[in-house]
Amino acid sequence: MSSADENLPAMPRHIAVIMDGNGRWAYRQHLPRVAGHRRGAEVVREMVQSCVDIGIPYLTLFAFSTENWRRPVLEVRLLMNLFRLLLRREARKLHENGVRLCIIGDRSALDCDIRQLVEEAEALTCNNKRLQLNLAVNYGGRWDIVQAARAAMAAVQAGELAPEDFSEAHIAQHLCLADIPEPDLLIRTGGEERISNFLIWQLAYTEFYFSDTLWPDFDRMALEYALQSFAHRQRRFGRTGDQVLEGDCSASD
């Protein structure tokens, strides 16, 4: 590390966000829950712009979990409609802004027209390099591990992989987000301190930041606070603090 770099705060390359608190925000304003989700979608736009401005290359947002189907049918329908709207209205703007959009999660349960919009938005933005925005929709960390294990098992069945050679890498390479760095920073808004089945494999060494701010109130300043907190962490990846200070601080062996 050069002396100039030492003066710069450490910046995450990849931020993952559990955007929680839309319902409570609406409740406090005496509005229906959907108003919270609508405002939450605006904040997604602001968050994407902030990451573009700051120069964060990867942003992964948890929009709908595999467990969120348990919500009232009407709320699920409204959330899916918001997703439709976002894909229709925002894909071109994201493209013009140099953002690549990737949807992660089990698409098979999504409506046909949504799947079509997803494919179009991904194709339109696939060569953009400024920011990769991963939107997790019908995503669950356990689902992700199972689908990766299934792919690895297929290799065993095809005789391409001996069971005794099976390793972490064979799961990791088939996970969603396998081709980008694991999240450096996880932000969860809304005051809860749990993972709720988000990227359970990929978060193994991620720094966590829990904020009481409800997602619809999470502004640029709130993001700056999270980044400041991150800048003061010492990431040890199993090593001692002294080893890290000596510069031996990568995640790999």
Binding mask 195-234 for ligand IPE (x = CB under 6 A): -x--------------------------------------
The secondary structure of 200-241 as a DSSP string is TTTTTTPEEEE--S-GGG--HHHHHHHHHHHHT----TTS-H
Instruction: State yes or no: residue 20 binds Mg ion (CB under 5 A).
Output: yes
Partner whose footprint covers residue 140, from ligand IPE, Mg ion, none (CB < 5 to 8 Å by kind): none
Q: Which of 28, 77, 92, 194 touches ligand IPE (CB under 6 A)?
A: 194
* CB < 8 Å & 24+ apart, contacts of 216-222: 216/21, 216/22, 216/25, 216/26, 216/36, 216/39, 216/40, 216/42, 216/43, 217/21, 217/25, 218/19, 218/43, 218/47, 218/189, 219/43, 219/46, 220/46, 220/50, 222/189
Q: Is 38 in the site for ligand IPE (CB under 6 A)?
A: no
Asked if 90 interacts with Mg ion (CB under 5 A), we say no
Q: How far is the CB of 205 from ligand IPE (least distance, A)?
A: 21
Does the annotation count 134 as an active-site position?
no
Residue 132 or 211: which CB sits closer to Mg ion?
211
Q: How far apart are CA 196 and CA 164, in angstroms?
A: 32
| Token pair for 45 | 């736009």
Q: How many other CB atoms sit within 10 Å of the CB of residue 230? A: 19
By the rule CB under 6 A, 187 interacts with ligand IPE: no
Binders of ligand IPE among residues 84 to 143 (CB under 6 A) are none
Q: Does 184 bind Mg ion (CB under 5 A)?
A: no
Query: Site residues (CB under 5 A) for Mg ion?
Result: 20
Query: Site residues (CB under 6 A) for ligand IPE?
Result: 18-24, 62-65, 68, 79, 190, 192, 194, 196
Residues annotated catalytic, as ranges: 20, 68
